[in-house]
Amino acid sequence: QTVVTQEPSFSVSPGGTVTLTCGLSSDSVSTGHYPSWYQQTPGQAPRTLIYSTDVRSFGVPDRFSGSFLGNKAALTITGAQADDESDYYCVVYMSSGIWVFGGGTKLTVV
Amino acid sequence: EVQLVQSGAEVKEPGATVKISCKVSGYTFTDYYVHWVQQAPGKGLEWMGLVDPEDGKTIYTENFQGRVTISADTSTDTAYMELGSLRSEDTAVYYCVTAYPDIVGSLQLWGQGTLVTVSS
């Protein structure tokens, strides 16, 4: 069974830059996996940040960007702010038609 | 404005079935997939499956295969997720998510979530 890997936790200083990654246990992430990224704060529904690798959803500030880093999808946050402290999830599309979420990364801004 | 409005919280006994609705507005319902996602308390997101409202075709993840039924009613622009043989581990918030406006079908706009509590 496909496992999507994310760093369990990460910390960044206010104003700093952080890159979170999203990998596959047995493959490289590619454009055909249409990787997407979501931000979730406690008690709230997730919010879509990035889809199809690097397309920013409507209203998402350009501090958030998507790309590839090696064989993984990546979400980069530049100029980190206090309210970026959230859980971040990626999801990838598999050729069988299913979508698989990563376990999420808890980002702390300190 | 695109909106996904889900039905209210449910409390069910083990072994029962729950059916959650997701009323969609603001775009053509049949043009985009609707996904369903589970989030257990303190846990991550788990994709359950999707429906193509245009033809009713569904895809489910193996983890829920056989227990979940996702459907769409084009007369009311409403998607449904029915989960049977409930057990305590199914206590979770369930989200519907539309693929609008992504033609690839990725998860885009989220409903507010529906809490299902399974308890005797």
What confidence score (pLDDT) does residue A2 get? 86
SS3 A102: coil
Taking residues B43-48, what's their average pLDDT? 98
Q: How far apart are CA B100 and CA B37, in angstroms?
A: 16
Task: Tell whether the model's pLDDT for residue A1 goes beyond 90.
Answer: no
Q: In this complex, do B50 and A99 lie within 8 Å of one another by their Cβ atoms?
A: yes
Main-chain dihedrals φ then ψ at residue B31, nearest 5 degrees? -85, -15
**Residue among B47, B105, B106 whose CB faces A101 most closely:** B47
Percentage of residues of chain B with pLDDT beyond 70: 100
SS3 B31: helix
> Which residues in chain A are contacts of B95 at CB distance < 8 A?
45-46
Task: Tell whether the model's pLDDT for residue A59 goes beyond 90.
Answer: yes
What confidence score (pLDDT) does residue B65 get? 82
**Residue among B46, B105, B109 whose CB faces A101 most closely:** B46
Q: How far apart are CA B81 and CA B68, in angstroms?
A: 7
Percentage of residues of chain B with pLDDT beyond 90: 98
State the virtual CA torsion across B92, B5, B34, B72 in degrees, nearest 10.
100
Main-chain dihedrals φ then ψ at residue B99, nearest 5 degrees? -85, -10
Q: Which is more confident, A1 or B80? A: B80
Q: How far apart are CA B77 and CA B67, in angstroms?
A: 24
Q: Which of residues 6-25 of B touch A (CB under 8 A)?
A: none
B115 CB contacts (<8 Å, ≥6 apart)? B9, B10, B92, B93
Find the DSSP H helices in chain A.
none
Phi/psi zone of residue A15: left (φ > 0), alpha (ψ -120 to 50 degrees), beta? Answer: left
Percentage of residues of chain A with pLDDT beyond 90: 97
The string of pLDDT tens digits covering residues B72-88 is: 999 999 999 999 999 99
The residue count of chain A comes to 110
